[in-house]
Amino acid sequence: MNAPLNTTALREQLYKDMSPLNLTPLWEVLHALVPPQPASPCVAALWKYEQVRPFLMRSGEAITAEEAVRRVLILENPALRGQSAITQSLYAGLQLILPGEVAPSHRHTQSALRFIVEGHGAYTSVDGERTTMHPGDFIITPSWTWHDHGSEAQGPVVWLDGLDIPMLRFFDAGFAENGDAKSQPVSRAEGASFARYGHNMAPVRHDAPFGATSPIFSYPYARSREALDTLERDAPIDAWDGVKLRYVNPQNGGSPMPTMATFMQKLPAGFVGKAWRQTDGAVYSVVEGQGEVDIEHAGVRHTFPLTPRDHFVVPSWHTARLRSTSGCVLFSYSDRPVHQALGIHKEERLS
């Protein structure tokens, strides 16, 4: 500001004198409070699995799943260190469970998604029903449902945890409880929820067992992959996304969880995507194949090489584009349902 000295002094004295009353002038911060466009403090980042995996395995030697309650390495946005957040609203972590271990039962108001990254045969139990994990499966833990994880597998099992932890922290709406037993009793056959809700059919008389959250716990990879393959052969390829589908809550067609949307997409071999940006920052897990992503913001550009089990984040309003010479499958999640509920979701598809 180019105010004359006496004005500057007048203002500074005002700020100083009113500060004890917890008063502060809007005009000094208005531009930052109401920015012309999103100015996320987050940065684009990549976690190569080959670099992360040794630390996951070391964590398996350092602490048991039971002692840790959840043995997870948090993927922290480099610009938000110490905040346990990958974007301002979302949390991401890689959870390890070893043969014979149990991550004890608890429940919390935070919603969780699990995306299986490595290994077969661990399970998660939600509300009395077990779901066996396979790579590429997308599994849900609805808000306030009891859940524990265990493994009768041969080797380590690793999955991506996506939670709305920072969002609930923002709203100061987090509650949590520990269960009485290490593992909750199984009260329903595995696959019951999928049989009821996963076949384009639904029970004749039912209400929503988990409120705003999908009644399907597990969306198996085999089904998602089959859909993408069929569409890649027969449907037009989207110039930005390749072939991309969103997971749905079959009861209302909306996102599987009220706070998080999830997606799976296939970039066909030879795909050179166009650039886009949107207000919902997104976290990606590379499922199969190879590719590259460019992420650009405020004159800073990253190009990340993508191979299976890598993770990366595209923050809000960063321009991104995807490429693949040999084909690539990507899972992703974002806070889009919240943007849409508030009427503030915005996407620009650049040409």
Q: Return the residues of window 133-152 that contact ligand GTQ according to CB under 6 A.
A: 147
Task: Give the three-class secondary structure for 150.
Answer: strand
Instruction: Note whether 70 binds ligand GTQ by CB under 6 A.
Output: yes
Q: Return the residues of window 224-253 that contact ligand GTQ according to CB under 6 A.
A: none
Instruction: Note whether 161 binds ligand GTQ by CB under 6 A.
Output: yes
Among 93, 150, 258, 315, binds ligand GTQ (CB under 6 A): 93
Nearer to ligand GTQ, 91 or 312 (CB): 91
Q: Please, what is the minimum distance in Å from the beta carbon of residue 270 to ligand GTQ? A: 36
Sketch the per residue contact string, 9 through 48, with ligand GTQ: x for CB under 6 A, - otherwise. ----------------------------------------
Nearer to ligand GTQ, 89 or 95 (CB): 95
Which token pair is 6? 């006496």
State the residue number with the nearest CB to ligand GTQ. Answer: 161
Task: Give the three-class secondary structure for 341.
Answer: helix
First CA to last CA across the chain, in angstroms? Answer: 39
Which token pair is 253? 């067609």
Instruction: Note whether 72 binds ligand GTQ by CB under 6 A.
Output: yes
Nearer to ligand GTQ, 151 or 265 (CB): 151
Q: Please, what is the minimum distance in Å from the beta carbon of residue 20 to ligand GTQ? A: 40
- Provide the edge-to-edge strand list for the sheet that holds 138-141: 72-74, 91-97, 157-163, 112-118, 138-141, 218-219
Quick one: which of 252, 240, 258 has its CA closest to 347? 240
Among 112, 126, 293, 295, binds ligand GTQ (CB under 6 A): 112
Nearer to ligand GTQ, 124 or 214 (CB): 124
Among 77, 95, 218, 259, binds ligand GTQ (CB under 6 A): 95
Backbone phi, then psi, for 52, in 5-degree steps? -80, -40
Burial label for 315, CB within 10 Å (0-12, 13-18, 19+), is buried
Q: Please, what is the minimum distance in Å from the beta carbon of residue 103 to ligand GTQ? A: 6
Nearer to ligand GTQ, 163 or 283 (CB): 163
Q: Please, what is the minimum distance in Å from the beta carbon of residue 162 to ligand GTQ? A: 9
- CA distance linking residue 257 with residue 301, whole number of Å: 32
Instruction: Note whether 163 binds ligand GTQ by CB under 6 A.
Output: yes
Amino acid at 320: A
Q: Please, what is the minimum distance in Å from the beta carbon of residue 111 to ligand GTQ? A: 10
CB atoms within 10 A of CB 254: 17
| # of chain residues touching ligand GTQ (CB under 6 A) | 9
Q: Please, what is the minimum distance in Å from the beta carbon of residue 75 to ligand GTQ? A: 10
Which token pair is 213? 């959250």
Note every long-range contact of 342-345, with CB atoms under 8 Å and residues 24 or more positions apart, other chains counting.
344/279, 345/278, 345/279, 345/280
Sketch the per residue contact string, 290 through 329, with ligand GTQ: x for CB under 6 A, - otherwise. ----------------------------------------
List % helix, strand, coil for the chain (3-state, nearest 5). Answer: 25, 35, 45
Burial label for 236, CB within 10 Å (0-12, 13-18, 19+), is exposed
- CA distance linking residue 143 with residue 140, whole number of Å: 9
Q: Which residues bind ligand GTQ (CB under 6 A)?
A: 70, 72, 93, 95, 108, 112, 147, 161, 163
